[in-house]
């Protein structure tokens, strides 16, 4: 088939075909970059991959691949990374077709598979590298293929704010907290959450992602970069010490809304003695407990303790609203920074509830720095 040449104001492109063998050859010779800066991570499950192989083996046509041919003769996969990686994995015997087709391996269909023709749109003479990012966003943004962090990576790849979020993901203390599943990380939701925490540090408590959207558009200055990095790392270092007492992943505080509140609390009280902060975390661990019936203390249905019920509701209903985030932090302050028990209705009610659970004789207060806090020595 002859190539059809189309002229566009910012680039040229042609409709062509490549055999699977030719695409694999480009990969083997390191002549094609499958993961340029604007691309998302590889996220397809084994099932997704096997189903694509089914389509090829059944002779179905695949959607167009978009490949940028650079002036130096090398290539860049603009759209089609998931399919290309899947095809390559099959060619190397890393996956098979689905059970429906008998879990066929490449050796059984090698000749047919390697000669299968892929529809390629080659992009050439691109006037600006930025156009590739814009094009990638355009063909993905309106569909369901990319989530917000993935779109942001491509659309704002050159922003300092995004660079900082990516860098902080490599903080070993943060990694040790083990807050994210592998699937969550593949979809860049871990970085999306770091963006939210940075947004809080820079602009204070805001509606979900409104601070992030502002900082992605306006970016942070060079002078902001290192102080924000240090502030984030200092907070995580303290939370890491808390994690050594009991891993967050075994508590409710691993959840995004609870962690956001814990992060905010540590930030606002970072000048306290570390032993005080760790004592306050131990109080949170008590509140993370269950009664004799196995019901969590903090739950939306706890009719016996309104402050615990309200905190739980603010974690699940409009949980990312500015109001819910402020109310959760106020609860932490009431329980963990008490200096006037007589006027602290939330603490009084929580203490009464804990007295019903553990026995009134075990509930009293202890002076920690300037605060009157739940006496953990009695529990």
Q: What is the pLDDT of residue 139?
A: 66
CA-CA-CA-CA dihedral for 157, 161, 165, 170, to nearest 10: 90
Measured distance CA(153)–CA(140) in Å, rounded: 12
Residue 151 lies in a domain: yes
Residue 311 lies in a domain: yes
Residues 11 and 133 in one domain: yes
Each residue's pLDDT tens digit, 282-309: 999 999 999 999 999 999 999 999 999 9
Q: What is the pLDDT of residue 295?
A: 95
Closest CA to 256 of 184, 307, 153, 165: 184
Residue 251 lies in a domain: no
CA-CA-CA-CA dihedral for 300, 304, 307, 313, to nearest 10: 10
Are the C-beta atoms of residues 155 and 133 closer than 8 Å to each other? yes
> Where does the pLDDT of residue 10 fall: very low under 50, low under 70, confident under 90, or very high at 90 and above?
confident
Residues 295 and 366 in one domain: yes
Residue 172 lies in a domain: no
Residues 21 and 136 in one domain: yes
Residues 15 and 134 in one domain: yes
pLDDT at 8 over 50: no
Rounded to a whole number of angstroms, the CA Rg of the chain reads 27
Residue 305 lies in a domain: yes
Domain containing 29 equals 4-143
pTM for the model: 0.65
Residue 310 lies in a domain: yes
Residues 26 and 135 in one domain: yes
Residues 77 and 35 in one domain: yes
Closest CA to 113 of 78, 79, 89: 89
Residue 225 lies in a domain: yes
Tally of structural domains, the chain = 3
The mean per-residue pLDDT over the stretch 11-40 comes to 90
Residues 135 and 221 in one domain: no
Residues 305 and 367 in one domain: yes
Residues 109 and 152 in one domain: no
Residue 262 lies in a domain: no
Residues 360 and 286 in one domain: yes
State the number of CA atoms in the 13 A half-sphere of 219 facing the CB: 11
Residues 195 and 108 in one domain: no
Handedness of CA 324, 224, 243, 281 (dihedral sign): negative
Residues 153 and 105 in one domain: no
């Amino acid at each position: 088939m002859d190539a059809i040449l189309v002229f566009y104001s910012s680039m040229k492109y042609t409709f062509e075909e490549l055999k699977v063998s030719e695409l694999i050859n480009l990969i083997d010779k390191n002549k094609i970059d499958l993961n340029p800066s604007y691309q998302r991570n590889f996220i397809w499950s084994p099932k997704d991959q096997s189903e694509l192989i089914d389509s090829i083996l059944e002779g179905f046509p695949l959607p167009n691949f978009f490949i940028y041919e650079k002036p130096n003769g090398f290539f860049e996969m603009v759209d089609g990374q998931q399919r290309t990686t899947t095809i390559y994995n099959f060619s190397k015997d890393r996956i098979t077709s689905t059970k429906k087709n008998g879990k066929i391996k490449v050796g059984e269909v090698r000749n047919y598979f390697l000669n299968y023709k892929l529809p390629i749109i080659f992009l050439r003479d691109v006037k600006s590298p930025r156009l590739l990012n814009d094009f990638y966003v355009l063909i993905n943004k309106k569909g369901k293929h990319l989530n917000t962090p993935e779109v942001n990576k491509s659309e704002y790849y050159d922003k300092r704010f995004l660079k900082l979020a990516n860098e902080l993901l490599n903080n070993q203390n943060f990694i040790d907290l083990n807050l994210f599943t592998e699937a969550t990380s593949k979809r860049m939701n871990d970085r999306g959450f770091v963006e939210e925490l940075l947004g809080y540090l820079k602009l204070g408590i805001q509606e979900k992602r409104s601070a992030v959207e502002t900082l992605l558009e306006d970016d942070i200055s060079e002078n902001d970069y290192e102080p924000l990095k240090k502030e984030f790392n200092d907070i995580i270092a303290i939370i890491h010490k808390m994690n050594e007492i009991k891993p967050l992943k075994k508590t409710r505080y691993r959840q995004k809304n609870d962690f956001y509140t814990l992060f905010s609390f540590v930030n606002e009280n970072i000048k306290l003695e570390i032993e005080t902060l760790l004592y306050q975390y131990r109080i949170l661990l008590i509140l993370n407990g269950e009664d004799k019936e196995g019901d969590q203390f903090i739950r939306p249905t706890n009719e016996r303790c309104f402050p615990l019920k309200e905190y739980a509701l603010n974690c699940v209903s409009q949980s990312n609203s500015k109001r819910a985030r402020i109310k959760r932090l106020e609860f932490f302050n009431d329980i963990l920074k008490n200096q006037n028990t007589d006027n602290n209705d939330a603490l009084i009610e929580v203490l009464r509830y804990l007295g019903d659970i553990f026995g009134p004789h075990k509930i009293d207060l202890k002076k920690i720095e300037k605060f009157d806090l739940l006496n953990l020595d009695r529990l």
